[in-house]
């Protein structure tokens, strides 16, 4: 995934062994963890809501790689960011 792909608000992700196009919701940096994160969706519903996925965004030469979020502390920060974005959108 290149920087241009992120800017265009669409990315191609390998999910469940298949390439799928996803919509980028937000890309943000945490100074506390010194990492960049990406929130994205395949627009799949979970109950009444659209399912949001989150990953660590890691620069790899001329592209980016999505990695799993590794700690509970990072997940809490990401969940807080999602809630804040939802408040702003409302």
CA distance 81 to 75: 10
Does residue 80 carry a pLDDT above 80? yes
- Give the tens place of pLDDT for each residue, 7-55: 558 888 877 888 889 999 999 999 999 999 999 999 888 888 888 999 9
The model's pTM is 0.83
Q: What is the pLDDT at residue 70?
A: 93
Q: What is the pLDDT at residue 2?
A: 45
Cβ contacts of residue 35 below 8 Å, gap of 6+? 29, 56, 57, 74
């Amino acid at each position: 995934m290149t920087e241009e792909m992120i800017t265009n608000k669409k990315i191609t992700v390998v999910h469940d062994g298949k390439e799928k196009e996803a919509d980028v919701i937000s890309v943000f940096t945490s100074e506390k963890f010194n990492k960049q994160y990406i929130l994205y969706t395949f627009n799949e519903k979970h109950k009444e809501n659209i399912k949001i996925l989150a990953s660590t965004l890691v620069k790899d030469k001329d592209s980016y790689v999505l990695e799993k979020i590794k700690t509970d502390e990072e997940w809490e920060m990401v969940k807080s960011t999602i809630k804040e974005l939802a408040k702003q959108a409302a």
